[in-house]
Amino acid sequence: MGFRTRQIHAGVTPDPTTGAILTPIHQTTTYVQPSVDEYMSKGYSYSRSANPTVQALELKLADLEGGVDCACFGTGMSAIHAVMLAFLNAGDHAIVSDVAYGGTYRLCTKILKRFGIDFTFADTANADDVAAAVRDNTQLILTETPANPTMKCSDIAAISEISKQSGAVHAVDNTFLTPYYQLPFELGADISIHSTTKYMDGHNATVGGAVICNNDEHAEAVRFIQNSTGTIMSPQVAWLTLQGCKTLSVRMDYQSASAMEIATFLEAHPKVQQVMYPGLESFPQYELATRQASGYGAMLWFEVKGGLAAGKKLMDNIEVWTLAENLGSVESLITHPVTMTHADVEKAERDRVGIIDGLVRASVGLEDTDDLISALETALDQV
Ligand SMILES: *Cc1c(COP(=O)(O)O)cnc(C)c1O
C-alpha cells in the first residue's frame, strides 16, 4: 500500500476491548501475568522493556521506513546514543559526518571518547573522504543527510558500499527528510535514525527518537540497549507522535513547496548574501539531492549581507516566524545555530565545516506561504 495509507493505518488496530479507533495510552508500569508458567504470554512484562502504545508507533515507523524493526527512545539523542552503544566497543573507531546535529558531535567528543572510542569527523559529502577514513577497527559510519544546519548532502548509496566493504554498520540520520522523501534502506544503509521530535511529531509537542533496523541481528542489539539503558519513549509521547505521523506526507508536501518559494524569494533578494536549499539549482549538490530523495524538505538557511549583526537583527525582529530551537513543526521557526543548536561545536570546527556565524536556519512551517514571505521581506527591509 501507498505511503499515505500506511502513515495512517500501519501499526494501529482498533482496541480489542472497546473498539476505540485510536491506540489507547497504556499508562502502566507493569502487566499482570496469568501464572508463572504463562509469564509474558501477552507479550508484555514491564514498561521499560515494551509498552503497547510505544509498540504501535514502533510498528508504524518500521513500516514507513521499510525496516524489520523499530525501537523508540526518549529523545533523538538517546536513539543516536543507543546505536553507538550497540555497535561500538572500547578500542573501536567510528566515522561521523563532519556536519551533524550539535548534540551528536558533543556525544562523540565529550562522552564516548572518554570510553576509548575514536571518531573521525569526515566530509561525508565526499565518499573518497569516507573511504580514506576507514580503519581496520571502523565499526560504524553515521551519515546525517541533509546535515543540520548547513544542508550538506551525502551519497547514501556510495557510503553504504564503503561500509559493506569494510564490515562497518552504516546508520543514516534521516530526520530532515523522513521516509516520505528519503529511504536509506533502498540505498543500502543498515539503520535509519530519527529525532521524532521534528517531522514525525510535527507539532512542537514532544521530544522523542527512533532507530529502525534493516536486519534482525542489528535490531536485537538495539533492543538490548533500549531495555538495558532504560531509554524507551514514554506512552504519552508515543501517542502524540502516532497522531502526528498520520499527516506527515501532507505537512511535508505543503512545507516543502513553501520552502521552495521562500528559497527562491531569498535568492533574488538584494540583501541576501547566499541561500542554501537542496531544491535550488544553485545548491552545490542539487544533482545528488534530486537523485537520492523524492523531495527537498522544508529546511533551508541563508546569510544576510552584513553577516552576523544583520542576521541577529533579522532574527530578533521578524514577525510570524518564531525564534526557537527545533524544526519540522507546523510553526515556522528561525534558529541561530552558532549560539543555539551548535554552540557546543568549537569555533574552529564550525569554521572548518562551514557553520558560519551569520548562518540563519529556517524551518518552514504550515502557515500561508505569502505571510511567511512578507514577514521576511519586512524584516529584510529593516536590516
Ligand atoms: C534534533 C536532532 C537530533 C536530536 O534529537 P532530539 O530529539 O533533540 O534529542 C538529532 N539529529 C538531527 C538531525 C536533529 O535535527
In which region does residue 178 sit, left (phi positive, over 0), alpha (psi from -120 to 50) or beta (all else)?
A: left
Could you list the active site residues? 48, 101, 173, 198
How far apart (Å, rounded) are the C-alpha atoms in residues 105 and 119? Answer: 10
- Indicate whether residue 211 lines ligand 1 (CB < 6 A): no
Give the E-state strand segments of the chain in sequence order: 69-73, 93-97, 118-122, 138-144, 169-173, 191-195, 209-213, 272-276, 299-304, 322-323, 333-335, 359-363
pLDDT for residue 284: 97
pLDDT category at 166 given cuts 50, 70, 90 is: very high
Please give the average per-residue pLDDT across 197-203, as a whole number: 98
Residue 40: the pLDDT is 95
**pLDDT (0 to 100) of residue 4:** 98
**Residue to probe by mutation, ligand 1, list 98, 148, 204, 326, most atoms within 8 Å of CB:** 148
First-last CA distance in the chain? 50
Give residue 368's pLDDT. Answer: 98
How does the average pLDDT of the chain come out, rounded?
A: 97
Ligand 1 contact via 197 beta carbon (within 6 Å)? yes
Evaluate: CB of 241 within 6 angstroms of ligand 1.
no
Task: Report pLDDT for 87.
Answer: 98
Ligand 1 atom nearest residue 147's Cα: 13
Instruction: Give the model's confidence band at 110: pLDDT under 50 very low, under 70 low, under 90 confident, else very high.
Output: very high
Q: What is the pLDDT of residues 311-331, one digit of tens each?
A: 999 999 999 999 999 999 999
Pick 3-245's CATH classification: 3.40.640.10, 3.40.50.720, 3.30.70.260, 3.40.50.920. Answer: 3.40.640.10
What pLDDT, on a 0 to 100 scale, did the predictor assign at position 22?
Answer: 97
CA of 121 to the centre of ligand 1 (A): 18
How high is the pLDDT of residue 366? 98
What pLDDT score does 210 carry? 99
Using one digit for the tens of pLDDT, what is the confidence trace for 233-258? 999 999 999 999 999 999 999 999 99
The stretch 73-98 carries a mean pLDDT of 98
Q: From the CA of 101, how far away is ligand 1's center (Å)?
A: 6
Give the model's confidence band at 342: pLDDT under 50 very low, under 70 low, under 90 confident, else very high: very high
60-71 average pLDDT score: 98
Fold of the CATH domain 248-381? Aspartate Aminotransferase, domain 1 (3.90.1150)
Q: 24: pLDDT confidence band, cut at 50, 70 and 90?
A: very high
Mean pLDDT over 323-346 rounds to 94
pLDDT of residue 249: 98
Instruction: Locate the ligand 1 atom nearest the alpha carbon of residue 80 and give its number.
Output: 10
Determine the distance separating the centroid of ligand 1 and the alpha carbon of 41, expressed in angstroms. Answer: 36
Domain-by-domain residue ranges, the chain?
3-245, 248-381
Q: Is the CB of 76 under 6 A from ligand 1?
A: yes
For a ligand 1 pocket test, name from 150, 175, 231 the mutation site with the most ligand atoms within 8 angstroms of its C-beta.
175
Residue that has been written with the C-alpha cell 537520492 in this structure: 292
